[in-house]
Amino acid sequence: MPQTGRRCKGGKGVAVTYNRDQIRAALALTDPAVSSFLDLQTGNVVSITEGDQSQANQELSALIMDSYGDRFRYIPGGNPAADDAAVSAWLENEGLT
């Protein structure tokens, strides 16, 4: 069962469940061509791939850039040993706990 966390979406009172398993996987990602972002509206992680010219990747990339900070937060990868403590630390550093 995926581990989740909860937060209240900015002044709207809508509870969002963050998918901690997806966040952990994004923190552990070591492929430099893939960038991961937490979607604050859905609680899920989305990824874009550098060099992928598909319409879906380009549209997602544009949406992320247009909504960065308000809706999307970058998740830095490169920590293959990412664990629940790393997820908690990232969420806290982003002000999402």
Q: What digits encode the pLDDT tens for the residues 24-49?
A: 999 999 999 999 999 999 999 999 99
* Spatial separation of the C-alpha atoms in residues 50 and 91, rounded to whole Å: 25
pTM: 0.86
pLDDT at 19 (0 to 100): 98
Convert the pLDDT of each residue in 74-89 to its tens digit.
999 999 999 999 999 9
Find out whether 18 and 38 touch, Cβ atoms under 8 Å. Answer: yes
Q: Closest Cα partner for 67 from 26, 43, 38, 35?
A: 38
Can you list the pairs that 12-16 forms with residues at least 24 positions away whose Cβ atoms lie under 8 Å? 16/40, 16/41, 16/42, 16/43
Cα diameter, the chain: 38
pLDDT at 31 (0 to 100): 97
